[in-house]
Structures are given as structure tokens and as C-alpha cells.
Structure 1
Amino acid sequence: METLILSCVIVDDEPMALNLVESYVNKTPFLNLIKKCSSAIEAMEYLQNETVDLLFLDIQMPDLTGLEFSKMIPKQTRIIFTTAFDQYALEGFKVEALDYLLKPFDYAEFLTAANKARTWFNLLKGSSQDQVKKASTDKKEFLFVKSEYKQLRIKLADVQYFEGLKDYIKIWLKDNSKPILTLMSLKSLEEELPKDDFMRVHRSFIVSLKNIEVVERSQIIINKQRITVSEQYKPKFLEFINQNSLSN
């Protein structure tokens, strides 16, 4: 059975608490820590460009509290609150937190909460199988993108890869020596692309899986362009490679 790995971010303004939760995450096989943040503002900036499954989120922090921040995160990111103040429990469940850990908590309590998250995501994955099958027969074949005051029709089959550049995206197409430039975030684009045809492999790159020519160590080669697969996206990419490799 395929092992589900959850990407997670820890947010806490206390260094000792941050390090403790990090140690718990690192000893939990189905959790993959991709970022530690010492404030909700830092986490908010990070999540503008990255997709995360799970947040371990402190509540009482300066400038922006965990409860305030929880109302701003994407719906696909779930929360486990960590706090020293039990009066926030009701508010935590009002924002649909998966669990609520009261400091100081030990690894057994942490693991119970983490397992709740794993169960939730496994159920979500199972319930979406029929939707995935339907999507495969009703897949997007093109997108309209705005470039130079025009709406251009882009055939997804012609896309080799997308390259993020701050607020812009370069769209590299087959048989085109110059990219199409459009004002858009890579995260917004990622949500619109067919998941079985395109994969984000780096903070700045989404590649067409069908147009990968060579995989060499941690790099993908498409039309002589080398694209590094970053550590955050490597597990998912390696899973794709393994699923499509001939067994020895």
C-alpha cells in the first residue's frame, strides 16, 4: 500500500517549542518538515508560494495570532494548534482544526494528533478516487493566458515547462525559442493544471511529465534545459519515477 507523506510547517515564536516540535516531526515517518517559522507573518509569506498539507501552529504570537492566521490559509492546508492556553480550544475547533495540543505535550500526544491528520488525508484521498477518474476523461487540453494585452490560447500538450519569475510566469513551448510571459503566480497556475500531466519540482518550476527526456541525479532535462528537483518536491517526483520505471 502506498505510504502517504504529509508536508508540514511549524509556526511558533518560542525557539524551544519550535525545536521540540521539529524533533517530534523528524521521528515521525509520515511527516516531512519543509519549513520552520518564528512568526505567523513569516509563515503567511511562505504559503503564498508553497503548498503545505499540515501546519503545527502556535496561537499566542505577536503581531498576528495563530487564530487570526488560521482564517487566511488555503483550505487544503489543515491545522494542529499548539498552545499553552487551554481557553483557546473552542476557538481552535471553530476554525476546523484537526487537533489541539496543550503545552507541554509529549511525543505520544503529538503522535496521536499527527495520526488524526494522516487519517483525515487518507480518507480525503480515498473519497477523491472517483473524481480523479472522471477528471482523466474530462481533462483540460488548453488554457487562455493574458500576454501583451491579448488572450493567448495555449495547448497544454505543447508546454515543456513553466518557470516562475516573481509575479510573472514564463511558458516554454515546443518549437518556440522564446517563452510566453504572463502575469500570474506559479501557485495559482498549479491549481489549474492536470495533476497527472504536470508536476511542481521546484519553487520556480512546473514541468510537463510527458516531455521529460532525461532524469540525471536530481536534475530533469527537457530540451537541453536542466531543472533541479528541490528537496521539498523530491519524494513526490521519485514516486512518479518509480511508478513509471521497469522493474529489474
Structure 2
Amino acid sequence: MKLKCVIVDDEPLAADLLRSYALQTPFLDVAGVYNSAIDALPRINEGGINLIFLDINMPKINGMEFSKTLPASIKIIFTTAYDQYAIEGFKVNALDYLLKPISYVDFLQASNRALDWFKVMNNISAESIFVKSGYQYKKLEYSNILYIENQKDYVRFFLEGQSEPVSSLMNIQQLAEKLPCHVFMRVHRSFIVNLDKVKTVERNCIVFGKTLIPVSDTYREQFNLFLNKGIL
């Protein structure tokens, strides 16, 4: 699998270094190197970009603000000389954060993380999903999933008959878009439920044993339509 990437950094030497790293990495295909977000935008808008190595401190529009304008399908690895941006970077669903000066080892680790993410997202089938948990890929049958919970950069899959959830580095929005909508429904910014497993609803909460999953206002109308189909 190859990832088509773009490098955006207003420092020419830093941009050239990242380009040289990307060219050394077999699964990366460099689609362009730019010294500002504005210059990179036409190429990004053409489509087909998977990954952006994006500097934060740039003129006109900084990388953090620019990342908020990009589609969720494009993953971001931030590059910066200032570590105070780390927490903010993960708030905008950055896949990783590289602190300058960047070594090739750090670059490769972040790139491998991106590759793993895309492999997981491409392994969603009609009946199951492969997820990377730790150093393993685990096949989860849809019929065994009760619900999915978002926790920062990870999601946790709660399975029928299994006390411990399976955790995977994944974005819940991307996951929700790829899971079959006739089986799964997002009912809260932090929760996706398997509709076949919904047995009890109490006061706008879905009951799974001792766990209560709230149905937020954003998703309540859609969920109520599902419930009304089954009411006699």
C-alpha cells in the first residue's frame, strides 16, 4: 500500500529534509513540497492526498488553522519546533506530532503509524473489520460488537461475551463513515452502537448491562426513527 503525501513547511531546508526522508520511505509517494498552506491548497483540492506533513508556524495561515479546513480523509502529521502545540494538535485529530530537529527514525515511526491507520480503515468488509490493537491485527465480526466508544485518539470496541474491550488507534468519525449504516449508528460524539444489540432504551440512554450510553440531541431524531420502526 502506498500513501500519497504532501509536505508543507515555510523553511526550505526543513521541507527539503522531509522530502528526502519521504523519498527514502518505500510506501510514501511525494505529490508535492510547498512553502505555504496557500501554495499547497490547489494540489490538495485535486484530491488523492492521504497524508500531509504540516508545519505549524507559517505566515498567512498557520498549520493548526489550515488543518481544520481539510477533509477528515486526509491525515495530518504536524512538524514544529515548539512542543507546546502537542495537545492542541491532537485536539484536531492529528495522527502524530514531530518535534524539530526531526530524525529519520522519528519520521519513519510517524509514517508507519499513518500506514497502519490506513490499512485498518481499508480492511472494513461487509461482515467484519480488522483493527490494529497493540502489535496485532484483530478481526472483529460485526455480529460480536455491542458498541464502540471514543477515547481521545483511540476507540474501544466492546464485544459480546468479552469483559475487556479491544482498543485501536482510530478516528471515530472516519470509522462511522465506513461502517455499514444498517448495522451501526452513531448516537453520541463518543459512541457508536450496534443496532441489532439495542434491547433496552431508558430516558434517552441505551442500556448495555450496567452501562448507559446517552443519545445526544444531535443524533436523537435519527435514533428515534429507528425506534419507531419497531414500535407496534
* Coarse TM-score class (shorter-chain normalised): 0.5 to 0.7
Instruction: Give the Cα–Cα distance (whole angstroms) in 2 for the partners of residues 8 and 103 of structure 1.
Output: 19
Question: Which residue number corresponds to residue 126 of structure 2?
Answer: 130
Question: Which residue number corresponds to residue 69 of structure 1?
Answer: 66
Question: Which residue number corresponds to residue 17 of structure 2?
Answer: 20
- SS of residue in 2 equivalent to 1:100: strand
- SS of residue in 2 equivalent to 1:32: strand
Question: Which residue number corresponds to residue 5 of structure 1?
Answer: 2
Superposed, 1:74-153 pairs within 5 Å as: 74-127=71-124, 129-130=125-126
Q: Post-superposition, which runs of at least 4 consecutive aligned residues in structure 1 deviate over 2 A? A: none
TM-score normalised to structure 1 length: 0.50
Can you list the C-alpha shifts for 1:32-60, whole angstroms capped at 9, x where unaligned?
Answer: 00111110111122222222000000000
CA contact (8 A) 1:44 1:69 kept: no
Question: Which residue number corresponds to residue 198 of structure 1?
Answer: none
Question: Which residue number corresponds to residue 48 of structure 1?
Answer: 45
Instruction: Give the Cα–Cα distance (whole angstroms) in 2 for the partners of residues 12 and 21 of structure 1.
Output: 9
For 2:126, give the aligned amino acid. D
Instruction: Give the Cα–Cα distance (whole angstroms) in 2 for the partners of residues 21 and 130 of structure 1.
Output: 38
For 1:88, give the aligned amino acid. Y
Instruction: Give the Cα–Cα distance (whole angstroms) in 1 for the partners of residues 28 and 90 of structure 2.
Output: 22
- SS of residue in 2 equivalent to 1:48: helix
Aligned length: 128
Residue 58 of structure 1, aligned match among 50, 55, 59: 55
Instruction: Give the Cα–Cα distance (whole angstroms) in 1 for the partners of residues 21 and 45 of structure 2.
Output: 26
Instruction: Give the Cα–Cα distance (whole angstroms) in 1 for the partners of residues 8 and 51 of structure 2.
Output: 11
> Which runs of no fewer than 5 residues in structure 2 stay unpaired?
128-232
Instruction: Give the Cα–Cα distance (whole angstroms) in 1 for the partners of residues 84 and 113 of structure 2.
Output: 22
TM-score normalised to structure 2 length: 0.54
- SS of residue in 2 equivalent to 1:130: coil
Can you list the C-alpha shifts for 1:180-228, whole angstroms capped at 9, x where unaligned?
Answer: xxxxxxxxxxxxxxxxxxxxxxxxxxxxxxxxxxxxxxxxxxxxxxxxx
Once superposed, what is the RMSD of the aligned Cα atoms? 1.4
> Which runs of no fewer than 5 residues in structure 1 stay unpaired?
132-248
* Overall identity of the aligned pairs, in %: 51
Instruction: Give the Cα–Cα distance (whole angstroms) in 2 for the partners of residues 44 and 93 of structure 1.
Output: 22
Question: Which residue number corresponds to residue 142 of structure 2?
Answer: none
Shift of the alpha carbon at 1:65?
0.2
Instruction: Give the Cα–Cα distance (whole angstroms) in 2 for the partners of residues 64 and 51 of structure 1.
Output: 23
- SS of residue in 2 equivalent to 1:42: helix
Can you list the C-alpha shifts for 1:77-122, whole angstroms capped at 9, x where unaligned?
Answer: 0000000010111110000001000000100010000000000000
